[in-house]
Amino acid sequence: MVTSSSNKTSTKDFKLNSNAKQKISKILETSNHDPKNLIRILQDLQDEFHYLPEKIISHIAKELKISEHHIFGVATFYSQFKFIKPGKHVIRVCMGTACHVLGAQSLLDNLSRDLGINTGETTIDDLFSLESVYCLGCCALAPVMVIDEDVYGSMTAAKVNRILRKYRKEAKPKQSKSGANKK
């Protein structure tokens, strides 16, 4: 079982239902069920499911007639593959030279503390995942943070707090004026 140390997000939450199996079958058909195409298969599976749940790896091991250990060996070699379900919003902090010199580590530390997670983890409410990357290619905006596809430059602790509040506010269920949606 793969878990996040701070919040116990597990790939066991994934349901390998008939819909998921159908999607997996299409991906395997595209690769001719050939284990030589394993990296492409894993990329396609991650594109479809946003991570590689343990149940999917077990399923494709049977389908491709290779061991789960071999699949995990290949998948863990490449940093692009994720084994923990990502949050609704993925936060990436650039740690490239320009960003590092201008305070990216402090930015990352503040985010980690505020979210209650380390890099590579997802918040308990599944709203945010936190990642550090080594260059986002926008050095003139350093330090840089990207949430999903939105780029935020010249980041400060105050800006981070304001941005996170916006995402958290958007995530809360809307309540009608009469309060009918209150729990």
For residue 167, give both structure tokens.
């995402």
CB 132: neighbour CB atoms within 10 A?
19
Q: pTM here?
A: 0.74
Whole-number pLDDT of residue 10? 47
Say how many Å lie between the first and final Cα of the chain, rounded.
34
| 116 phi/psi in degrees, rounded to 5 | 75, 25
Whole-number pLDDT of residue 9? 42
Locus of tokens 């789960």? 68
Low-confidence ranges of the chain (pLDDT < 50): 1-10, 176, 182-183
